[in-house]
Amino acid sequence: MVAAFRCVPVQVERSVRAFAPSLHRATPPREQPGPRPLAIAVVALLALAACDARPGAPHLFGFGDPVRGAALRAPSTLGDTSRWAGRPVEAAEAAAELEFLANEFAVNPRYAPEANPAALQQLEAARREMRGFLGISPDASPELVMAGLRRAAGALRSGSRAGAEAALSGPAFAYGPSATLGRLASMPRLPRTSEAAGGVAAEIDRLERRR
């Protein structure tokens, strides 16, 4: 990471050159400063986190804004949800992330007052589309839906289908746990969700440029 220094010979006066050998012997060589291991590790970890496009992945290991992280990740996680077909863990996390974005852009005081209404409308349309596909009640609270989807994802990741079904057994999940899991495992491309993914990423960029 740090380029080695290289000595370049230069022309000097004869009188100065005469003393060069003694000066060289008297001056101990200086060690080249090396990169600090801790700094390298931190930079590497941050770079890896910034490139992580998995649904639900923490933005910069929690050091960044989670709304910003989810919005910047949206084109990858929500732009084509058919990529999660056969991967119910990622599908559940992506659906929870959409709920999170739609809710935060509506109520978060950092974003709601300045957000473009068009971006909010896209997110709401995407949430209705996702809920309709998964059989989630349109009146269910976002917090309840997010909690159920995230618990289901965690249970599936640990190999517990029973735990996932328990997480999706509440009244918010109208299709029932088994059918909801089946939908998560066969997620298609959702066009309104795809539009919102691009829109929210562009909107977060616009807001940052204004600040």
- pLDDT tens for 114-131 read 999 999 999 999 999 999
Q: Is the pLDDT of residue 25 over 70?
A: no
What per-residue confidence (pLDDT) applies to 9? 39
pLDDT in tens, 44-102: 444 444 444 556 555 543 357 899 999 999 999 999 999 999 999 999 999 999 999 99
What per-residue confidence (pLDDT) applies to 36? 56
C-alpha 134/C-alpha 132 separation (Å) is: 6
C-alpha 152/C-alpha 92 separation (Å) is: 7
Mean pLDDT (whole number) for 106-112: 95
Place of tokens 């809920």: 131
pLDDT in tens, 161-191: 999 999 999 999 999 999 999 999 999 999 9
- Of 55 and 26, the structure prediction assigns the larger pLDDT to 55
What per-residue confidence (pLDDT) applies to 92? 98
For residues 167 and 152, the answer to whether their CB atoms sit within 8 Å is yes
What per-residue confidence (pLDDT) applies to 11? 41
Region label for 100, one of left (φ > 0), alpha (ψ between -120 and 50) or beta (otherwise): alpha
For residues 203 and 80, the answer to whether their CB atoms sit within 8 Å is no
Q: Is the pLDDT of residue 32 over 70?
A: no
Region label for 199, one of left (φ > 0), alpha (ψ between -120 and 50) or beta (otherwise): alpha
- Of 19 and 169, the structure prediction assigns the larger pLDDT to 169
CA distance to 9, 108, 134, 181, per residue, from 149 (Å): 67, 21, 11, 10
pLDDT in tens, 143-160: 999 999 999 999 999 999
At 173 the three-state DSSP class reads strand
C-alpha 98/C-alpha 77 separation (Å) is: 9
In this structure, is the dihedral angle defined by the CA atoms of residues 95, 175, 150 and 114, taken in order, positive or negative? Answer: positive
Q: Sorting pLDDT into bands at 50, 70 and 90, what band is 210?
A: confident
At 147 the three-state DSSP class reads helix
Q: Sorting pLDDT into bands at 50, 70 and 90, what band is 27?
A: very low
- Of 20 and 79, the structure prediction assigns the larger pLDDT to 79
> In sequence order, which ranges of the chain are alpha helices (DSSP H)?
14-17, 20-26, 37-51, 66-77, 88-107, 117-134, 142-157, 161-167, 177-184, 191-210
